[in-house]
Chains A and B, each alone.
Chain A
Amino acid sequence: MLRFLTTWIGSFQEYILLSGRAFGNIVREPHYYDDVLIQMDIIGFGSIPIVLLTGFFSGAIIALQMARALNTYGASSQVGSIVALTLVRELGPVLTALLVTGRNASGIASELGSMKVTEQIDAMRALGTDPVQKLVTPRLIATAVMLPALTVVADAIGLFGAYLVSVPLLKIISASQYWTTSYQALVMNDLAQGLLKPLIFGMIIALVGCFYGLRTTGGTQGVGRATTHAVVAASIWIFFVTFLIDKIFVNL
């Protein structure tokens, strides 16, 4: 038990050090702008199809379930506001982050892990490049910028999915009523946590992916292990941080 704790604390310390160096490099020369753009394309643009699909169906499903529940209390007209609040505050950021974790934390960990086991990371250091500057910082910036953008897309398409269910399909509410209640339900506090969460999740996803990738050992099997650990750790951190942010914002 003590050994497990020591290992865990050691790993967490390494993670914090890596994060510190990655953040420090944002303001330190040289800057690899091309790598940032490439990563933005892979992480942001590449995730759009899956984010659209998931966002749409989560909105539609919430509307279906809520319509029935709200009908019991004669409050069907509130479906728009409930969908908007659930999506913007919680489901949009968390679902999008989990999808990007599955898609990109794994991708980052396996790419960096393969580079590590084939000595490409050592080669990079030997050629005079800081691997953290070249590999970690661009992924950190790209994910932290693109995840909030993807979340906004997911929220919007989710609201549209819920609209299709509530208005043309179930006909429980009119279009103008749906959009007005959705819009009016949201206050600045909701939007703030709806955008703060993906920003922090983006940093977690990139840093956890890079951390497990860069400490890969043990050949191809090690790469597989690093990938699994990255996805599991990033997912747990996402839920934990959501809880913390909710706790803070609920008290505001």
Chain B
Amino acid sequence: MADTADTAEPILELKDVTLKFGETWGLRNVSLDLYPGQTFIIFGAAGSGKTTLLKAVIGLVRVDSGQIKLLGEDVTQMEEHELFGLRSRVGILFQEGGLFDSLLVGENVEYPLVNQQSSAKEGDSQGEEEVECRVRETLRFVELEHTMEKFPSELSGGMRRRVGIARAIVTNPPLVLYDSPTAGLDPITANTIMALIAKQRDVQNTASLLVSHRYQDGEIMADFRYDPEKKELLAIPEEARVSGANGTRFVVMRGGEIVFFGTRHELEASDDGYVKRFVRHEG
């Protein structure tokens, strides 16, 4: 499906995944293969199944039929208690951040590490200093190291979202699920957040599923790459953009079904009236 796939095993495979809520389709025959370093930007109207898809991937909602293979394990065949270990290997950013309001920012970011430790066998666990060091490093990555001792309620919406990103990536997961990371934020903060997501992708070769309502979010992921030397996002060459060489693909959903899958170039060239609504046209 993707050009970057080559010989690597897919991180996530969905085959004919279907879920119905009463008479409404939550997901309808959804099939996807996501490889390391790839990003799928998911667009769709409200209720089209975007968040349901993210939740189904980690078994937070159970599907009616089809197969979901995450990191080589079949989510659809696993019991709830078996899923906890698998989920702890995936990062997730909730739309509202989903931060624990009774924990400090530092403790929130530390949570997935401590959680992994408590389920790890003795000898595999990291020391306290190592954990703190990793938390600081991750908060520095999202430029919020100074907020470690604050409660989430003391931060602005954009800062909370960045803490959410820090918590999602602190364990360096191979896959991160972002649910509307820029929803309700001003354009400057939204671009900062997208830059962080692109940086994480390029520094760690992280695969992502990103639900969004902003076309610019997809543009940043498709047209830019993070340069670790210059420490900034640089535009990729035109021919690489057209071929979608950096692995960014656009998915458009309607009524739980995937109605478009392709590169940014293909998305902009689409004639479908519904698909065209998610493309920002110049002029």
State yes or no: do A and B come from one complex.
yes
The answer to whether A126 touches B119 (Cβ under 8 A) is no
**Cα-based distance from A128 to B167 in the complex (angstroms):** 13
Please, which residues of chain B bring their CB within 8 A of the CB of A126?
A: 58, 60, 87, 92, 94, 98
Of the candidates A32, A119, A120, A128, the one whose C-beta lies within 8 Å of that of B87 is A128
**Cα-based distance from A123 to B60 in the complex (angstroms):** 10
Q: Binary interface profile of B, 76-116, with partner A (CB < 8 Å = 1, else 0)?
A: 00001100111111001010101111000000000110011
Please, which residues of chain A bring their CB within 8 A of the CB of B118?
A: 30, 32
Please, which residues of chain B bring their CB within 8 A of the CB of A127?
A: 87-88, 92, 111-112, 115, 167
Q: Binary interface profile of B, 177-215, with partner A (CB < 8 Å = 1, else 0)?
A: 000000000000000000000000000000000000000
* Smallest CB separation, B162 vs chain A (Å): 16
Best-buried of A30, A32, A128 by chain B (most CB within 10 Å) = A128
Q: Binary interface profile of A, 121-140, with partner B (CB < 8 Å = 1, else 0)?
A: 01111111110000000000
B:31-81 near A, CB below 8 Å: 58, 60, 80-81
Q: Binary interface profile of A, 88-120, with partner B (CB < 8 Å = 1, else 0)?
A: 000000000000000000000000000100111
Please, which residues of chain A bring their CB within 8 A of the CB of B98?
A: 118-120, 122-123, 126
Please, which residues of chain B bring their CB within 8 A of the CB of A128?
A: 84-89, 112, 115-116, 119
The answer to whether A125 touches B60 (Cβ under 8 A) is yes
Instruction: Count residues of A near B (Cβ-Cβ below 8 Å).
Output: 16
Best-buried of B58, B111, B118 by chain A (most CB within 10 Å) = B118
The answer to whether B101 touches A129 (Cβ under 8 A) is no
Please, which residues of chain A bring their CB within 8 A of the CB of B80?
A: 130
The answer to whether B58 touches A123 (Cβ under 8 A) is no
Best-buried of A123, A124, A129, A130 by chain B (most CB within 10 Å) = A123
**Cα-based distance from A119 to B167 in the complex (angstroms):** 15
Please, which residues of chain A bring their CB within 8 A of the CB of B115?
A: 127-129
The answer to whether B84 touches A123 (Cβ under 8 A) is no
Taking residues whose C-beta sits less than 8 angstroms from the other chain, chain B's interface range is 20 to 34
Shortest Cβ distance from B95 into A: residue: A119
**Cα-based distance from A119 to B51 in the complex (angstroms):** 13
The answer to whether A120 touches B101 (Cβ under 8 A) is yes
**Cα-based distance from A128 to B87 in the complex (angstroms):** 5
* A122-B94 contact in complex given A30-B119, A127-B112, A127-B115, C-beta closer than 8 Å: yes
**Cα-based distance from A125 to B61 in the complex (angstroms):** 11
**Cα-based distance from A120 to B116 in the complex (angstroms):** 18
B:108-157 near A, CB below 8 Å: 111-112, 115-116, 118-119
B:213-248 near A, CB below 8 Å: none
**Cα-based distance from A9 to B128 in the complex (angstroms):** 47
The answer to whether A118 touches B96 (Cβ under 8 A) is yes
The answer to whether B100 touches A129 (Cβ under 8 A) is no
The answer to whether A130 touches B101 (Cβ under 8 A) is no
Please, which residues of chain B bring their CB within 8 A of the CB of A29?
A: 119
* Smallest CB separation, B84 vs chain A (Å): 5
The answer to whether B60 touches A122 (Cβ under 8 A) is yes
Shortest Cβ distance from A124 into B: residue: B100
* Smallest CB separation, B153 vs chain A (Å): 11
Please, which residues of chain A bring their CB within 8 A of the CB of B86?
A: 128
Please, which residues of chain B bring their CB within 8 A of the CB of A30?
A: 118-119
Please, which residues of chain A bring their CB within 8 A of the CB of B94?
A: 119, 122-123, 126
B:234-282 near A, CB below 8 Å: none
* Smallest CB separation, A100 vs chain B (Å): 21
Please, which residues of chain A bring their CB within 8 A of the CB of B60?
A: 122, 125-126
Please, which residues of chain A bring their CB within 8 A of the CB of B84?
A: 125, 128-130
Interface residues of A (CB under 8 A from B): 29-30, 32, 115, 118-120, 122-130
A selection of 21 A-B contacts at a CB cut-off of 8 Å is: A30-B119, A118-B96, A118-B98, A118-B101, A119-B96, A119-B98, A120-B98, A120-B99, A122-B94, A123-B92, A123-B94, A123-B98, A123-B100, A124-B100, A126-B58, A126-B98, A127-B115, A128-B85, A128-B87, A128-B115, A129-B88
Name the 9 nearest CB pairs between A and B, nearest first.
A128-B88, A123-B98, A30-B118, A128-B87, A128-B84, A126-B92, A119-B98, A127-B112, A129-B115
